[in-house]
Structure 1
Amino acid sequence: MSFFGRNKNPRKRSPTPTGSLSRENSINEGGSGATTPHGDKPLYLCSPFADAALVNGNFKTIVTLPRYVDRMEWVAMNIYDFYTNLNEFYGVITDCCTQQSCPTMSAGPNLNYSWITPDRKQMSLSAPTYIDSVMSSVQNLLEDETMFPTKSGQDFHQAFPTTIRHIYRQFLRIFAHIYHAHFHDVLNLRSEPHFNSLFAHFLAFGKEYGLLDVKDIKGEPNAPVGAGLLWERWKESGKLEA
C-alpha cells in the first residue's frame, strides 16, 4: 500500500538546536520538573482553560476509519498530520523552551524523560535537544520510502506498527512537556482551544488504534504525567471514550 497524497516537499524541522540522538527513550522517575507556585493545580487543569476546544462532542467521530480506506494508510496520514501540527505548535513557543529554561525534558513535578544510549545507559537531555531529536528522527522516517511508502502497490514495512507506537510515545512526551512547562505560553497566544483539540484528537486516535499505553499517559504513582489528568477529565466530560 502507498501512503497516498503525501506531500513530497521538504518538511520544516523543529526550530531548535540540531539534534541527532534518534535512540529509544525511557522514563527517569527521579527528576525535578517545573512546579506550580505553592503546589496549586496547574492552569491546564483549571476551568475554563481545560475545557477550551474547537470541537464539541466525542472525538471518536473524527478518528473512525473511513469506509474503503486501508487501516495503515489512515494511520500513516494521521501520523504525518500530528507531526506537522505538533511541530508547528512547538515552533511558536520555541523561544520560550531553551537550554536554560528547560534543562530537562520534564512532564510533571517529579518526572523527567531521558534517553537510553546504545550501551543502555540513561542520558539526561535538555527539552529543546530532546524535542529536536524526536522531530528530526520522525521526519527522517516520514521520508523513508520503506517505512512510509508513496508508490502505488508498495506494502508497508513489517516494522511499521512498532515504529508508529514508538513515534506516538515520543509525541505524547512532547505534548506532556508543553502542558507542564509552557501552557502559560500557549495561553499568552490564546491558543489553548487549538492545542487542547489537537491533544484530545491525538489521545482519541491513539486509543482507537491501540497506539498508546495507559501507563504512558498516566505515568507512575510517584511520577505521574501531569497532562495525563486531562485524559480523565475529558473522559468524564464525554470528549473521549470512557
Structure 2
Amino acid sequence: MQGLIDIFKPERTFRPQRKFTRDSKRGLLFEKAQATLGLQLCMSDMVVVPPGEDKYEWIAVHAVDFFNRISLIFGTLTDTCLSSTCPAMSHSNGSKRWDWKWQDNVRYKKPTRLPAPEYIFQLMNWVEHELNDDELFPLSSAEPWPRDFMRRIQRIFTRLHRVFVHVYYSHFRRIQEIAGEAQVNYCYKHFWFFVNAHALIPQSELEPLADLASRICRKRKDYPDNIPPGLIPSTPPKPHKSSLFGYKKS
C-alpha cells in the first residue's frame, strides 16, 4: 500500500483509514498478506488462503485493506468528481450501459438515482458500517462467523468494485496526470484476482471492466511486467487505446 500512499495523499483519503491491532490475529494476518505484495509471485498465488489460516479471516482482512486503498484512491478525485461533472452513477461501453441506483433500506428505502459522488459517499459509509459490525466480523476467534457472512461480504466487494468502475470510466485521465496509473492498475489487478479466487463478485458486475481485466489481469509474474506497490515509475506506462477509455495520454 506504500506506493499508493506515496502518490495518493493519505490526508485526502475519502474515509478514515481502518487499522488492525498489531498483535491481533487479523493484524498478523494483514502483515502476512502485505509481505507478499511486491514479491516475484504470481498474483493468483498471492490471493490464496495461507496454509492453516481461516478463509473467512483472510477475506475479512482483505475487505478492510481494499476499503482503505479504494478510499485513498477516490479521496484524490473528490475535487473533480462533482455532481455537475458526474450527475449519475452511469457508465457505458459501446452498446452496453450500467446504471446504478442507491438503496440501503435505511435512508434510501427504494433504488434512488444519485450523483456519482453522493452515491460513492453513501456506498463507502455503508461499507464502513458493515466493517464495524461485530456480528459480521467477530472480534474473538471463539465467536462463530455468521451464517450469512459470504452473502454480506459478497455485497461489500460488489459495491467496492463499482468505485473502481467509476474511477476508470470517469477519472482515468486525472489518475494519469498524477502518475498514479501503475498503482491503480496494480491495486485493481490484486482486487480482481482476489474476488475471482474466492467467488466474491458475479461476472455480470465485473463486466464493465472486462476489457481492462483481459489486458492487465493475466496469470503470470507481476514483476517486471507490472509495477508493484512501493515502486513509482519515472514516467507512467503508456496506456492501451480502447473503447473503455477512448483516448491516449498526450
Q: 1:236 to 1:145 in 2, by over 3 A?
A: closer
Work out the CA distance in 2 between the residues paired with 1:81 and 1:98: 26
What residue in structure 2 maps to residue 130 of structure 1?
A: 119
Match of 2:99 in 1: 112
SS at match of 1:108: strand
Q: Structure 1 unaligned segments of length 5 or more: list them.
A: 1-11, 16-53, 219-224
Find the counterpart in structure 1 of residue 186 from structure 2. 197
Corresponding residue to 1:71 among 24, 41, 55: 55
Displacement after TM superposition at 1:151 (Å): 2.1
Q: Is the 8 A contact 2:83 2:115 kept in 1?
A: yes
Following TM superposition, where does structure 1 have runs of at least 4 consecutive aligned residues deviating by more than 6 angstroms?
54-57
Distance 1:239 1:150 in 2: 35
Determine whether 1:103 maps to 2:87.
yes
Code of the aligned partner of 2:117: P
- Between Structure 1 and Structure 2, which shows a larger proportion of strand residues? 1
How far apart, CA to CA, are the structure 2 residues paired with 1:81 and 1:211? 15
Unaligned runs of 5+ in 2: 1-11, 16-37, 223-250
Measured in 2, the distance between the counterparts of 1:117 and 1:142 equals 15
* TM, length-normalised to structure 1: 0.69
Give the Cα–Cα distance (whole angstroms) in 2 for the partners of residues 189 and 55 of structure 1.
25
Match of 1:45?
none
Pick closer, same or farther for the CA change 1:55–1:180 going to 2, 3 Å: farther
The residue number in structure 2 matching 1:158 is 147
Question: Structure 1 177/156 Cα, relative in aligned 2: closer, same or farther at 3 Å?
Answer: same
Whole-angstrom CA distance in 2 between matches of 1:55 and 1:81 = 18
Over 3 Å counting, the alpha-carbon distance change for 1:117 and 1:66 in structure 2 is: closer
Q: Relative to structure 2, which stretch is displaced further, 190-199 or 231-240?
A: 231-240
1:61 aligns with 2:50: no
Output the CA distance in 1 between the equivalents of 2:203 and 2:221. 17
Distance 2:110 2:212 in 1: 32
Q: What letter is aligned with 1:89?
A: I
Letter paired with 2:64: Y
Identity among equivalent positions (%) equals 26
Given that 1:200 and 1:239 are in contact with CA atoms closer than 8 Å, whether structure 2 keeps it comes out as no
- What is the identity, as a one-letter code, of the residue corresponding to 1:115? W
Provide, for residues 133-154 of structure 1, a one-character-per-residue CA deviation record: whole Å limited to 9, x for no partner. 1111111111111111122311
1:171 aligns with 2:160: yes
1:2-49 deviations in Å (ceiling 9; x for gaps): xxxxxxxxxx9836xxxxxxxxxxxxxxxxxxxxxxxxxxxxxxxxxx
What secondary structure does 1:123 align onto? coil
Q: Pairwise CA RMSD of aligned residues? A: 2.5
Say which structure, 1 or 2, has more relative contact order (CA 8 Å, 6+ apart). 1
